[in-house]
Amino acid sequence: MSTKSVQKYIEIVPAGNSPSGITRRWKVIQKREGITVGTIKWYGGFRKYCFFPAEDTMLYDSDFLKLVAEKLEKENKHQRGKAHYSWDGKTITYLTRVQLGPRKTILASRGI
């Protein structure tokens, strides 16, 4: 079964933002019964979007996982585009895009 045919059975729908409002969330829903099989949301420990399965839904095939992985890759690339990091061996420097106006964006840096 391909990921396109899996899309016949599940859909990934927006589920709003995180409590902080910084990152987004999505529900992964089985179309036939309308059951939420899991959530895609930001996991700070990994610094990326991850899939959190719902309880009692721990059976997935490889095509389902590929579809979820494609969504994770897309959102992680989008999120990485918002902030960049550099490491010189001593200090982590965060470069963040700051919107100054409708046509002006700068990169601001902060060392830790």
Sorted by sequence, the CB contacts under 8 Å of residue 2 that are 6+ apart come out as 63
Q: Cα separation of 21 and 18, whole Å? A: 5
**Positions of the chain with pLDDT under 50:** 1-2, 111-112
pTM above threshold 0.85: no
Q: What is the pLDDT of residue 63?
A: 82
Q: DSSP 3-state assignment of 88?
A: coil
Q: What is the pLDDT of residue 65?
A: 85
Question: Quick one: the chain helix, strand, coil %, rounded to 5?
Answer: 20, 45, 35
- What is the pairing mode between strands 83-87 and 24-30? unpaired
